[in-house]
Chain A
Amino acid sequence: MSEAAKTGAATVRVALPFHLRNLARVEGDVALDVSAPVTIRAVLDALEARYPMLRGTIREYETGQRRAFLRFFACEEDWSLESPDKPLPDIVASGKEPLLILGAIAGG
């Protein structure tokens, strides 16, 4: 477990895709105070608490499952299929690097 994930709250940065930035009415990354351990679930909980208009857009309402065409990246690694309760890398948990939420490139 990373150091930031072990102790206290951290300010985590999240990079949202274009349409979700518009919904949340934000520009650039959003900064969230997230209690340790800093996991994808904890980050999304904090994101949806601060920006309730995003509820249901990243993960399904009832199941909490990631929506099929969205992916999570941390430190240039695909975390989409990792457990949502796995602590994020320290560099993300400490806010030095953002957690990326990306829309899959699909269509044509």
Chain B
Amino acid sequence: MSGVRVLVGTHKGAFVLNSDGKRKDWTVSGPFFAGWEIYHMKGSPVDPDRIYASQTSGWFGQLIQRSDDGGKTWHQPGLADEAIPAPGPPTALPNRFVYDASPETGRPLTTHQWYDGTQHPWEFKRVWHIEPSLTDAETVYAGVEDAALFSSTDGGENWRELSGLRGHGTGPKWQPGAGGLGLHTILLDPTDPKRIYIAISAAGAFRTNDGGVTWKPINKGLRSQYIPDPNAEVGHCVHHVAMHRSRPDVLFMQKHWDVMRTDDAGENWREVSGNLPTDFGFAIDVHAHEPETLYVVPIKSDSEHYPLDGKLRVYRSRTGGNEWEPLAKGLPEKDCYVNVLRDAMAVDTLDDCGIYFGTTGGQVYASADAGDSWAPIVRDLPAVLSVEVQTLN
């Protein structure tokens, strides 16, 4: 019997929601790490019981947590044993994210652009996104603020920066978005383990073809009115990027404003906002079985982070963009002023694709019919920061 597990990161803890394949009745476990911000949780495609979580706090810093039993119990990687540790240097430093400035592999830390245009030193703050490898349960990537990409090959016990990204030359032009200079999107190419896409607010999208040694900005075609050169190579506020597993050359992007599409691995982008009532938003995702069907949640504007007219609506395109239809059945039709953040939408892979998203009002909505109808599967959680879905067989 298949089932679905939904991993919900919130402003005040983590929650794990489970249902069978009917996706009608749900159990809610949590809060885990109560009182902490859980920016993101994601399970390994290789071992679905292996789940990583980013736990963070302005007081106590960044922690990585891992579950090896599907979210029932958690520990910091390498620190599962509660016995008195053996003397000597620790072998696991799961929370140590240090920018690589070594002469051999690192890059000078230099600076990035601050909000006022001055240069500012790179400072690690938190992990925004965790992306487990598609092929190895011990390998996992982490996108962090200030923007950089880290990886671990021992299940999160130790991390090292893939410093070619931060050091490839445009770093001094990267500027924080309103939420910080975060690397929030990591897409792994299922057909080529050396090809990775990432995106940063507000720097743009980048691609490596050599496993993270060298990187290329892939922002041609993006236009952003708020930067001095609207066609700049970097500096674009990319909110999120989505890809269908079967077509890793095709990417869909929700930019600050504009929904964009590329068919050549990011070499060229074109706008596909079409008839959307507003093309500002954060979340975007692709149907699990229909590579030309995508979903966004239009938000009124960058000054008013809530749905138009108080009506929460997902918009679906079955044509790869440009032509969009509102999906409202089961969603609030009035007085709704929540936001849906960039990592708070996900899909399952059951035959009738399920779509899920969480709101800053603490609801997680699900559709078991590809968006035709919706229902809250939990409500009144803390503000939802991220939603990921595991389809279990």
Binding site for B on A (CB under 8 A): 17-20, 22-23, 25, 49-50, 52-53, 55-58, 60-62, 67, 69-70, 103-104, 106
Contact = CB atoms under 8 A, between A and B. Distances in A.
* Interface SS, A side: loop
Interface of B: 34-36, 57-63, 76, 79, 82, 84-85, 87, 90, 92-93, 95-96, 98
Q: What are the 4 tightest A-B residue pairs by CB atom distance, in nearest-first order?
A: A57-B60, A69-B59, A56-B95, A103-B59
Contacts of A60: 61
Given A25-B82, A62-B98, A19 B61 contact: no
B93 A19 contact: no
B90 A19 contact: no
The CB with the most chain A CB atoms within 10 A, among B34, B58, B59, B76, is that of B59
A61 to B, nearest CB: 5
Contacts of B76: 53
A52 B63 CA distance: 12
B280 to A, nearest CB: 28
B90 A56 contact: no
Contacts of B90: 52, 55
A20 B85 contact: no
The CB with the most chain B CB atoms within 10 A, among A25, A50, A60, A61, is that of A61
B36 A56 contact: no
Contacts, number: 55
Given A19-B35, A53-B79, A61-B96, 15 more contacts: A19-B57, A23-B63, A25-B82, A50-B85, A53-B63, A55-B95, A55-B96, A56-B63, A57-B60, A57-B61, A57-B63, A69-B58, A70-B59, A103-B59, A106-B59
A61 B95 contact: yes
A106 to B, nearest CB: 8
A56 B59 contact: no
A22 B60 CA distance: 12
Given A61-B96, A62-B98, A56 B85 contact: no
Nearest to B85: A52
A58 B61 CA distance: 8
A55 B34 CA distance: 19
Contacts of B62: 56
Contacts of A22: 34
A56 B57 contact: no
Contacts of A104: 59
A61 B63 contact: no
Contacts of A49: 85, 87
24 contacts: A18-B35, A19-B35, A22-B34, A23-B63, A49-B85, A49-B87, A50-B84, A50-B85, A52-B79, A52-B90, A53-B63, A56-B61, A56-B95, A61-B93, A61-B95, A61-B96, A67-B59, A67-B61, A69-B59, A70-B59, A70-B60, A103-B60, A106-B58, A106-B59
B307 to A, nearest CB: 26
B46 to A, nearest CB: 26
Contact of A20 (B60, B79, B87, B96): B60
Contacts of A69: 58-59
A98 B82 CA distance: 23
Contacts of B58: 69, 106
